[in-house]
Amino acid sequence: MKNKIIKTGVAIVVTKENKILLGLLSKKWLYNNKQVYGVPGRDVRFGEKIGDTVKRNILEDLGCSVTKYNIFAVNSNYVYGNHYIEIGVLADIEGDLKNLMPVDWEKWEWFDFSHIPKNLFPSAKNVIDSYLKKVVNVEE
């Protein structure tokens, strides 16, 4: 690892009507040479509260507001030679979905929980598994 600093991020699970919101990551973020789906979320900034990080990310990525959020998981993520501690957050949002970060996301889609794509970014897979299995951690 070139940068031996552990970073902290949020992985935000947004649900409605038994569906989960997933974004198709742009080709900039290929994983194993394939495009993958992820959940909203990014780094926690220095001095930023977790709730403020969640609200900022949802606003920046989707143009929506967070009405409620709940922390439910903590997982590790080692992709791209990084080491992240990812905080899994369940969030309720309101507003019309927009793709405000096309450099990172190609599109946003709602998927039924019984038809979640297999091509998930590792941190998204961890947080979704934690949510579905109702466990705090699936990856240490």
pLDDT, tens digit (0-9, with 9 covering 90-100), for 10-69? 999 999 999 999 999 999 999 999 999 999 999 999 999 999 999 999 999 999 999 999
Indicate whether 80 pLDDT > 90: no
Cβ count within 10 A of residue 32: 7
Residue 70 has pLDDT above 60, yes or no: yes
Give residue 81's pLDDT.
84
Instruction: Report pLDDT for 49.
Output: 97
Lowest mean pLDDT across 2-6, 19-23, 48-52, 133-137 = 2-6
Tell me how far apart the alpha carbons of residues 2 and 44 are, in angstroms, rounded to a whole number: 20
What pLDDT does 1 receive?
A: 45
What are the pLDDT digits (tens) for 47-59? 999 999 999 999 9
Q: What does the alpha-carbon distance between residue 82 and residue 121 come to, in Å, rounded to a whole number?
A: 14
Question: Could you tell me the domains of the chain?
Answer: 7-133 (3.90.79.10)
Helix (H, G, I), strand (E, B) or coil at 91: strand
Instruction: Render 27-68 in DSSP notation, one character per residue.
Output: GGG-BTTB--EE-S--BPPTT--HHHHHHHHHHHHHS-EEEE
> Rounded distance, CA 86 to CA 90, Å?
13
Asked if the model's pLDDT at residue 140 lies above 90, the reply is no
Neighbours of 57 (CB within 10 A): 24
Please compute the mean of the pLDDT values over residues 87-99 and round it to a whole number.
Answer: 98
32 Cβ contact list (under 8 Å, min separation 6): none
Which of 75, 77, 83, 51 minimizes the C-alpha distance to 133?
75
Is 80 exceeded by the pLDDT of residue 74?
A: yes
